Structure 1
Amino acid sequence: MVLSGCAIIVRGQPRGGPPPERQINLSNIRTGALARRAPQSQPDQKDTPDEPYAFQAREFLRKMLIGKEVCFTVEVKTALGREYGMVYLGRDTTGENIAESLVNEGLATVRREGIRGNNPDQARLCDLEDQAKASKKGMWTEGGGTNTIRDLKYIIENPRNFVDSMHQKPVNAVIEHVRDGSVVRALLLPDYYLVTVMLSGVKCPTFKREADGTESPEPFAAEAKFFTESRLLQRDVQIILESCPNQVILGTVLHPNGNITELLLKEGFARCVDWSMAVYTQGAEKLRAGEKSAKERKVRIWKDYVAPTANMDQKDRQFVAKVMQVVNADAVVVKLNSGEYKTIHLSSIRPPRIEGENKDKDKRFRPIYDIPYMFEAREFMRKKIIGKKVNVTVDYIRAATSSSETSTIPAFAERTCATVTIGGINIAEALVSKGFATVIRYRQDDDQRSSHYDELLAAEARAIKNGKGLHSKKEVPIHRVADISGETQKAKQFLPFLQRAGRSEAVVEYVFSGSRLKLYMPKETCLITFLLAGIECPRGSRNMPGGMQVAEPFSDEAMAFTKELVLQREVEVEVESMDKAGNFIGWLHIEGVNLSVALVENALSKVHFTAERSSYYKTLVSGEEASRLRKDKIWANYEEKKVEEVVHVMEEKERTANYRAVYVTEITDTMHFYTQDVETGTQLENLMETMRAEIAAQPPVEGSYAARRGDYCIANFSADGEWYVFCLSVTCTFVFDYREIVPSTRLAVIPPAFSTRTLAAQATEYTFAYIQVPQDEDARADVVDSLVRDIQNTQCLLNVEHSGVTCPHVTLQFADSKDDVGLSLVKEGMVMVDVRKEKHLQKMVTEYLNGQESAKTARLNIWRYGDFRDDDADEFGYKLKK
């Protein structure tokens, strides 16, 4: 750097970091002082202007020396450490003498006081000065050089207007100071504006000022500053002034050898900054490419960088898939070549939503129709990509999040976020440009974002400017869609209209099973449940009053077939009739294919006798016959019936009494209880001791385990400080004992030698058979207290009586007396009998009912009131009428 016409700063070659600097003052000459701005802390002082020819002398040296090698000799060193000497251009003293050149050009005067006559260097300087005077060079010209004083402008009254007046055209400038790698002080020519410019689109590590006034550099801050200084300081450059938000001037510095912004990124000295990239005029994609290059090479600030998809195979990062469903404006379900279904979320966009409203209060709330522009966004996606092949590029995996009990934020499962394109069009960008989605703003250090994030921001800016969709000032579209699914009266009124209409257009909104669908009728703006006519499709599993109904064979395959063929497609329907529940029955066609016929032909459904009166009956029968001959799917085990009658003798099922010893470990407030088998007690204790010894020898690292629902892992139990195996859910159900809510930091991976393969989960949940759980809280609490006193932490005998919805129903016997625990509760008048209808259980039911009658006669507990009838019992509790 050239400080003035007679002072320069030099430094050696860098070795392992920025080299030390050294100031050299030229001996025996004097040049004019440059302008100096008054300290802002002292408003009474005024700015000092240039002395004549001071700036010209500085410029003479700057153009001669900056970036060049010089040789210097130190002649005098003052007590304050200031060094005076001679500077020569080049590597030795044979080069051009800088002081002599300045004097010869009339840009410096010679210090004649104290001249020693025997010093040839001083004598030569005097001769050169006399020659310059005679030739009237530089400061020796007539007029005194007042025209060489600059009109420096330190303050710009309206920076935004100033930047706009430049019209983003390159302005000649000299970089006067480098604050850090991405902030410089520049002298704009020819008007001498001194401005601070922040490089658009990037940010380098900075120097933080501490409370004591010292500066502490962030990692690589000094290296980044040196990188910029060594290339730009006091160089002639061009600056494009691009924007001025909040009085900060953003710009791009162009040097003949390149663009410093892009170089900083490529060498790992800077990172991209979203808020200022939008104004970068040289192409934001170049900045992203430079940053990506540095990340891949892990240089400088990216030395510890791990890409969001670093652990994924190439085939998992980029693949082609078929869109099966548009879940939301930012999520689709695709089918991979392997046949697997996968949910893909569009990176970095947010679908329309309602802010600050508790939608759970209104059960009628339907997001697809009630949230403004949600329906338009879904329809845009559906029409563009449903059923089509798309290119998927995974950008990042968003980890699963769980909500706390006090938080209103919902829990989200792990999300695969990707850029989805079709025909070269980015679906997310198209959505944002239509105003059907907004772009998510991230923290600067959050690298989990779309690989086309800048294009998304630009698309959103266009949508805002043009007032599209969510950014429109017009009234939001309202969709009044009537849902008549299951509404028998409304369906009856609507049925004649649909029957007369013949084929009606519809969109399949949901597939319940292979033959049961939910349709949206666009012209009628209503939702209906639609059953396929003429076929009998395998039923899937469902909850029934008596428990879970098991799915019939090939029910899942039938539903998958229907989904792939018609879900969210535009179809035509012919309504023939309706059932008593208000569901319409008829035929569904898609691109000339009758769905009922297609299911039968693919051996996923049978022909129903009701099809005989239909015009499609022959087609259905021929399709069924062909499937039957192939013995495909539902016909795989089909055998022709023999003519002679086959009589099946159904054997009466008997109750099985196979009691085994168990240890009751816990009783819940709902009268469910957990047991452990006595047989495996010793094996469990040995396994736990071995596992705890291994954990003590090699304790797990706190917080290293990423918890996922359903995982088996180990947790530290607060009651005794020991480690137990448990299955992760909302609360932690310990496989070998109790329950507790624990923070994720107390979880760890289960050692492989102690997994549930070695020993199955020992804590098994049961409930009592033949008795009803009191609905009244006080009555139930009394029963639970009695059970805790009698059987908790004791050994009993257990027999499974029948299955249940959530757990098996069992009877318990006391180990010593062999008395039935549930029957004892009935005889004490604490619970009522749950009457089962199964024939093989009638003996036990009769015994329980006899016990209940004895409790009634003795007027015990719930039967303590006098006159009553069985139907006086309130179904919501044991509160009887007097």
Structure 2
Amino acid sequence: MVLSGCAIIVRGQPRGGPPPERQINLSNIRTGALARRAPQSQPDQKDTPDEPYAFQAREFLRKMLIGKEVCFTVEVKTALGREYGMVYLGRDTTGENIAESLVNEGLATVRREGIRGNNPDQARLCDLEDQAKASKKGMWTEGGGTNTIRDLKYIIENPRNFVDSMHQKPVNAVIEHVRDGSVVRALLLPDYYLVTVMLSGVKCPTFKREADGTESPEPFAAEAKFFTESRLLQRDVQIILESCPNQVILGTVLHPNGNITELLLKEGFARCVDWSMAVYTQGAEKLRAGEKSAKERKVRIWKDYVAPTANMDQKDRQFVAKVMQVVNADAVVVKLNSGEYKTIHLSSIRPPRIEGENKDKDKRFRPIYDIPYMFEAREFMRKKIIGKKVNVTVDYIRAATSSSETSTIPAFAERTCATVTIGGINIAEALVSKGFATVIRYRQDDDQRSSHYDELLAAEARAIKNGKGLHSKKEVPIHRVADISGETQKAKQFLPFLQRAGRSEAVVEYVFSGSRLKLYMPKETCLITFLLAGIECPRGSRNMPGGMQVAEPFSDEAMAFTKELVLQREVEVEVESMDKAGNFIGWLHIEGVNLSVALVENALSKVHFTAERSSYYKTLVSGEEASRLRKDKIWANYEEKKVEEVVHVMEEKERTANYRAVYVTEITDTMHFYTQDVETGTQLENLMETMRAEIAAQPPVEGSYAARRGDYCIANFSADGEWYVFCLSVTWCCNREIVPSTRLAVIPPAFSTRTLAAQATEYTFAYIQVPQDEDARADVVDSLVRDIQNTQCLLNVEHSGVTCPHVTLQFADSKDDVGLSLVKEGMVMVDVRKEKHLQKMVTEYLNGQESAKTARLNIWRYGDFRDDDADEFGYKLKK
């Protein structure tokens, strides 16, 4: 280093570390003093400017000597240890005499008071000074050299604006001081700004200041400082000023021989710093590559480094697998080539989440739908990778953590964190770029992070800038998804809609067993439990009142088969019916495959007798027969039994005819109808009169009642101004009107459903098929409304049904069967029941149908028909 025009710092060759330094002052000459800044602790003192030609003398020596070998002789050593002597360029005294060169250029004056006449070297200095004066060189020019005094700027008022004004273009500079390996003091040219610059993207070991004022170096701090000093100190460089967060100027120092930032990393003198890598203009991947090289070679600060996956085999670190399930926005379940299932977490990202404890207290809290953007994140991943093969590169294994220091229960189990790519696309980066996830910030010494961490940070920065997803200032998306699983009443209302819809789109959310699934219906925005029709799957183990029920053979295999085929896939379902628990029953199709048929063909289920009436029956039976012949899985121990004649003596059940008087209050478009018992009619009227009298005496406060689905309440009917009781979960069964919630009120306690049960009961007709053609069904409904609505009839329950009992109605006066009348008029077809005790009624209905055919009434008006000509779904005939 050149301290001034007449003083330099020299040091020998390094041997095992930075060599000692030595200051040499040039004998017999003097140069101008360089500018000095006043101590910050003494605000009353002023800065000292350059003396004329002081900086030029310093620059003359700097450009001549920095980085060069010199030879010096010591002539005088003072009591304080200062050494004065002559310095020569090169390895011996035959080289250029530095003092003579300075004097010759007019940049130094000779101390003539100490000149001895018999010393030729000193005499030569005097001669050179006289020649410089005569030639008016340097300080001997006219004017005294005031134009050579620098306007040094120690403080920048607005550093951020100053950095921005540089437009990240290289600025010429001289490195004046090296604080540590990654922080330097630079003189920016030509405007003489003296600034401290921290290298972007890296940090070297530092010197910590202790309480007593001494500095203690961190390991390799001195070596890192020497590495930077020996290459940059007082060198001509270019600096790219890249950012200025919190008054700290970040930049990159470029030397003709290389980039010091990347060299420090490669040699193990520095580590990458996440917060400042984002502004590094030369490419963050170069910094990561340099750090990775040092880690692999275990040099210097990485001498004890152990890679997160060092103990893993190559086949476990990098593999191809099939995605079976998207568990969360940051985790997937994959199937390895070995058939093993493994949960993989995406490295260094965090899915959307809700802070606080309310989510834990709310039993109805459903993360996938209730956390903003969680559903969008899951759907993005599901559509992108479900059922597809992906490349998995394990980045680190996150150890299990306990919920507290004393707890043995893990808060998080061990996690395999990896980078998952498909078609060259990093799934984690894609999620972050759309604002569906955020990037985890780590401690600087935490090496367990994504191998593409910088790309994730860059993706997050883009998402924030563009206001995507979680970073959007718009209102968050709300997913109101109704879960009607096990809600029998809700399922009853929904069933006709699904039956009419034919094939409906769905997404399989969960697989309970081989034949029991949970579906999300996108168009209807609801969740349903769905049972596969036509088959009988092996049951899994489950808790029963008497203890654990043992799983049937191949139940796990059946569930695994169904999971692999349909879990989180888009499917089509045909709903046929529902059970008593509110579960829908039907057929599920995926890419042309009927899941029921697939399970039977793979010997993982048997055909159930309910499949007989299905169009898939022949296919199911054929698949079952093939499985039995192969003796595969559930048929492994199957033995063909000999047919034996077995005579069963059975008591034939008799049909019970127990007609009671009812009042038909409503007929729906689906040919269901509601009735009230005549027997309790007087009681109902008296109750309503008493209730209305109490309401009139104590009217409800408008708007005081918060309506909830499933509640019984009262409403004011505008047609007559009276109050009526109804349930918010069922269809209106009498007068209809859409009213605001302010016209609803709580039932007075004395008149609840405990006093008198709900009076409107839903039924449907036995022995007849409901026309699926809308026009044909409308004709039947019109006829029924005309004949029986708001009239008294006789009702008998014939058999139970999925949604309501199946009954026959008789006109009160003539005792004629209403349903049979419809059949005889050719308006409906007969629903043939197989129960023996109902055969007499079925025969009577079939005879009525034959008479309608013969008379060519309504649907039978064409003469060239056969029994199978009538389309049971539309009553449209082939001609």
Inter-partner Cα distance in structure 2 for 1:46 and 1:466: 49
Residues 181-205 of structure 1: CA deviation (Å, up to 9, x unaligned): 0000000000000000000000000
> Which secondary structure does the structure 1 equivalent of 2:393 belong to?
strand
Decide which moves more: 76-85 or 654-663.
654-663
Offset of residue 641 of structure 1: 1.2
> Which secondary structure does the structure 2 equivalent of 1:411 belong to?
strand
Label 1:521 to 1:37 Cα distance change in 2 as closer, same or farther (>3 A).
Answer: same
Offset of residue 771 of structure 1: 56
Label 1:390 to 1:676 Cα distance change in 2 as closer, same or farther (>3 A).
Answer: farther
Offset of residue 696 of structure 1: 89
Inter-partner Cα distance in structure 1 for 2:302 and 2:227: 16
Inter-partner Cα distance in structure 1 for 2:14 and 2:449: 37
> Which secondary structure does the structure 2 equivalent of 1:734 belong to?
coil
Judge conservation of contact 2:665–2:734 (CA < 8 Å) in 1. Answer: no
Label 1:351 to 1:570 Cα distance change in 2 as closer, same or farther (>3 A).
Answer: same
Offset of residue 636 of structure 1: 1.1
Label 1:509 to 1:67 Cα distance change in 2 as closer, same or farther (>3 A).
Answer: same
Label 1:7 to 1:736 Cα distance change in 2 as closer, same or farther (>3 A).
Answer: farther
Judge conservation of contact 2:674–2:733 (CA < 8 Å) in 1. Answer: no
Label 1:567 to 1:817 Cα distance change in 2 as closer, same or farther (>3 A).
Answer: closer
RMSD of aligned alpha carbons = 20.8
Length-normalised TM-score, structure 1: 0.73
Decide which moves more: 785-794 or 25-34.
785-794
Judge conservation of contact 2:767–2:832 (CA < 8 Å) in 1. Answer: yes
Label 1:36 to 1:368 Cα distance change in 2 as closer, same or farther (>3 A).
Answer: same
> Which secondary structure does the structure 1 equivalent of 2:401 belong to?
coil
> Which secondary structure does the structure 1 equivalent of 2:527 belong to?
strand
Decide which moves more: 457-466 or 223-232.
457-466
Judge conservation of contact 1:704–1:748 (CA < 8 Å) in 2. Answer: yes
Judge conservation of contact 1:6–1:26 (CA < 8 Å) in 2. Answer: yes
Label 1:626 to 1:791 Cα distance change in 2 as closer, same or farther (>3 A).
Answer: closer
Partner of 1:292: 292
Q: Quick check: 1:649 aligned with 2:649? A: yes
Offset of residue 117 of structure 1: 1.0
Inter-partner Cα distance in structure 2 for 1:832 and 1:241: 87
Inter-partner Cα distance in structure 1 for 2:631 and 2:783: 59
Residues 448-497 of structure 1: CA deviation (Å, up to 9, x unaligned): 11111111111111111111111111111111111010111111111111
Partner of 2:246: 246
Decide which moves more: 494-503 or 405-414.
405-414
Label 1:842 to 1:492 Cα distance change in 2 as closer, same or farther (>3 A).
Answer: closer
Decide which moves more: 857-866 or 828-837.
857-866
Label 1:764 to 1:475 Cα distance change in 2 as closer, same or farther (>3 A).
Answer: closer
Judge conservation of contact 1:736–1:761 (CA < 8 Å) in 2. Answer: no
Label 1:398 to 1:819 Cα distance change in 2 as closer, same or farther (>3 A).
Answer: farther
Percent sequence identity is: 100
Label 1:669 to 1:404 Cα distance change in 2 as closer, same or farther (>3 A).
Answer: farther
Decide which moves more: 845-854 or 33-42.
845-854
**Corresponding residue to 1:825 among 808, 814, 822:** 822
Label 1:12 to 1:162 Cα distance change in 2 as closer, same or farther (>3 A).
Answer: same
Label 1:387 to 1:19 Cα distance change in 2 as closer, same or farther (>3 A).
Answer: same
Offset of residue 654 of structure 1: 42
Decide which moves more: 763-772 or 497-506.
763-772
Judge conservation of contact 1:725–1:735 (CA < 8 Å) in 2. Answer: no
Label 1:685 to 1:504 Cα distance change in 2 as closer, same or farther (>3 A).
Answer: closer
Partner of 1:846: 843
Label 1:874 to 1:78 Cα distance change in 2 as closer, same or farther (>3 A).
Answer: farther
Judge conservation of contact 1:546–1:805 (CA < 8 Å) in 2. Answer: no
Decide which moves more: 671-680 or 570-579.
671-680
Label 1:704 to 1:588 Cα distance change in 2 as closer, same or farther (>3 A).
Answer: closer
Offset of residue 545 of structure 1: 1.0
Gaps of 5+ in 2: none
Judge conservation of contact 1:725–1:736 (CA < 8 Å) in 2. Answer: no
Q: How does 1:246-325 map to 2 (within 5 A)?
A: 246-325=246-325
Decide which moves more: 687-696 or 476-485.
687-696
Label 1:684 to 1:403 Cα distance change in 2 as closer, same or farther (>3 A).
Answer: farther
Q: Quick check: 1:736 aligned with 2:744? A: no
Residues 800-829 of structure 1: CA deviation (Å, up to 9, x unaligned): 999999999999999999999999999999
Decide which moves more: 83-92 or 719-728.
719-728
Decide which moves more: 849-858 or 531-540.
849-858
Label 1:93 to 1:612 Cα distance change in 2 as closer, same or farther (>3 A).
Answer: same
Residues 244-282 of structure 1: CA deviation (Å, up to 9, x unaligned): 011000000000000000000000000111111111100
Partner of 2:328: 328
Offset of residue 293 of structure 1: 0.7
Residues 815-845 of structure 1: CA deviation (Å, up to 9, x unaligned): 9999999999999999999999999999999
Label 1:580 to 1:338 Cα distance change in 2 as closer, same or farther (>3 A).
Answer: same
Partner of 1:181: 181
Offset of residue 401 of structure 1: 1.0
Label 1:714 to 1:595 Cα distance change in 2 as closer, same or farther (>3 A).
Answer: closer
Inter-partner Cα distance in structure 2 for 1:430 and 1:546: 51
Decide which moves more: 646-655 or 841-850.
841-850
Judge conservation of contact 1:734–1:763 (CA < 8 Å) in 2. Answer: no
Offset of residue 358 of structure 1: 2.8
Inter-partner Cα distance in structure 1 for 2:396 and 2:303: 20
> Which secondary structure does the structure 1 equivalent of 2:9 belong to?
strand
Judge conservation of contact 2:74–2:86 (CA < 8 Å) in 1. Answer: yes
Inter-partner Cα distance in structure 1 for 2:179 and 2:368: 52
Inter-partner Cα distance in structure 2 for 1:63 and 1:377: 60
Offset of residue 849 of structure 1: 60
Label 1:761 to 1:505 Cα distance change in 2 as closer, same or farther (>3 A).
Answer: closer
Inter-partner Cα distance in structure 2 for 1:667 and 1:496: 15
Judge conservation of contact 1:199–1:252 (CA < 8 Å) in 2. Answer: yes
Residues 118-168 of structure 1: CA deviation (Å, up to 9, x unaligned): 111001111111111111111111111111100000000110110000000
Partner of 2:109: 109
Label 1:501 to 1:409 Cα distance change in 2 as closer, same or farther (>3 A).
Answer: same
> Which secondary structure does the structure 2 equivalent of 1:75 belong to?
strand
Decide which moves more: 687-696 or 249-258.
687-696
Inter-partner Cα distance in structure 1 for 2:538 and 2:343: 26
Label 1:296 to 1:54 Cα distance change in 2 as closer, same or farther (>3 A).
Answer: same
Label 1:171 to 1:539 Cα distance change in 2 as closer, same or farther (>3 A).
Answer: same
Label 1:516 to 1:834 Cα distance change in 2 as closer, same or farther (>3 A).
Answer: closer
Inter-partner Cα distance in structure 2 for 1:384 and 1:218: 48
Offset of residue 404 of structure 1: 2.8
Label 1:831 to 1:428 Cα distance change in 2 as closer, same or farther (>3 A).
Answer: same
Decide which moves more: 25-34 or 800-809.
800-809
Label 1:318 to 1:803 Cα distance change in 2 as closer, same or farther (>3 A).
Answer: farther
Judge conservation of contact 1:535–1:607 (CA < 8 Å) in 2. Answer: yes
Judge conservation of contact 1:202–1:272 (CA < 8 Å) in 2. Answer: yes
Gaps of 5+ in 1: none
Label 1:414 to 1:648 Cα distance change in 2 as closer, same or farther (>3 A).
Answer: farther
Label 1:676 to 1:516 Cα distance change in 2 as closer, same or farther (>3 A).
Answer: closer
Q: How many residues align?
A: 879
Inter-partner Cα distance in structure 1 for 2:792 and 2:267: 71
Judge conservation of contact 1:833–1:849 (CA < 8 Å) in 2. Answer: yes
Decide which moves more: 631-640 or 499-508.
631-640
Offset of residue 112 of structure 1: 0.6
Residues 54-106 of structure 1: CA deviation (Å, up to 9, x unaligned): 00000000000000000001011000000000101000111111011111111
Label 1:836 to 1:214 Cα distance change in 2 as closer, same or farther (>3 A).
Answer: farther
Offset of residue 114 of structure 1: 2.3
Inter-partner Cα distance in structure 2 for 1:698 and 1:93: 119
Label 1:421 to 1:66 Cα distance change in 2 as closer, same or farther (>3 A).
Answer: same
> Which secondary structure does the structure 1 equivalent of 2:52 belong to?
coil
Label 1:186 to 1:824 Cα distance change in 2 as closer, same or farther (>3 A).
Answer: farther
Decide which moves more: 573-582 or 674-683.
674-683
Offset of residue 657 of structure 1: 56
Inter-partner Cα distance in structure 2 for 1:637 and 1:867: 52
Looking at CA atoms only, which structure, 1 or 2, has the larger radius of gyration?
A: 2
Residues 713-761 of structure 1: CA deviation (Å, up to 9, x unaligned): 999999999999999999xx99999x99999999999999999999999
Offset of residue 360 of structure 1: 2.2
Q: How does 1:358-397 map to 2 (within 5 A)?
A: 358-397=358-397
Decide which moves more: 312-321 or 791-800.
791-800
Label 1:381 to 1:66 Cα distance change in 2 as closer, same or farther (>3 A).
Answer: same
Judge conservation of contact 1:727–1:735 (CA < 8 Å) in 2. Answer: no
Label 1:466 to 1:742 Cα distance change in 2 as closer, same or farther (>3 A).
Answer: closer
Inter-partner Cα distance in structure 2 for 1:866 and 1:400: 78
Decide which moves more: 284-293 or 718-727.
718-727
Label 1:728 to 1:131 Cα distance change in 2 as closer, same or farther (>3 A).
Answer: farther
Inter-partner Cα distance in structure 1 for 2:212 and 2:693: 52
> Which secondary structure does the structure 2 equivalent of 1:100 belong to?
helix
